[in-house]
Amino acid sequence: MKSVKDYIRTIVDFPHEGIMFRDVTTLFADPRGFRMAIDQMLHPYAGMRIDKVVGLEARGFILGGAIAHQLTVGFVPIRKKGKLPGAVISEAYTLEYGEAVMEIHDDAIQPGEQILVVDDLLATGGTAAAGIKLIERLGGEIVSTSFIIDLPELGGRKVLEDMGMNVSVLCEFEGE
């Protein structure tokens, strides 16, 4: 029987030479693979109170929407700077080649709401950490973070765990 990892293709030297890009679009395109991933991402939270699912741009939107639908809860996007139309709060974070900024609508989460944060891949943890900070600034309480892929060599899991986060992943790939 196939695992989620079997549906993910690797593209060599994308977006730069030396990078092994883990492409989840092949997983999303396969109905069995996509359902398997969503079901496995949901499983640890059966019976838990979750008020909203937050998806990190951009593949986290695909996962987050499907998971929110299954849980019958709201979905909130965290986007790159300048992409949301309403009043937002922002959080800058460091990338290997500079800085980026993530934003969330300032009314997207109410204090005390239980939040599940989802994305496709956990690398250095910078994007997820910025998203967590935004949610916490709005008073949301993070139940867990959930990813399809962890790249353990890049240390993102430790970054999130050091922030007090529970981290759930479906598979790991060695290397970048």
Active site (catalytic) residues: 59, 96
CA separation for the pair 166, 48 (Å, rounded): 14
Instruction: Decide: helix, strand or coil at residue 76.
Output: strand
Task: Please provide the DSSP assignment of 109-173 as one string.
Answer: S-TT-EEEEEEEEESSSHHHHHHHHHHHHTT-EEEEEEEEEE-GGG-HHHHHHHTT--EEEEEE-
Given the DSSP bridges, would you call strands 141-150 and 167-172 parallel, antiparallel or unpaired? parallel
Q: Starting at the earlier edge strand, list the strands of the sheet with 74-80.
A: 88-95, 98-105, 74-80, 52-56, 114-122, 141-150, 167-172
Residue (of 92, 96, 51, 97) closest to 71 by Cα position = 51
Rounded CA separation 29/25 (Å): 6
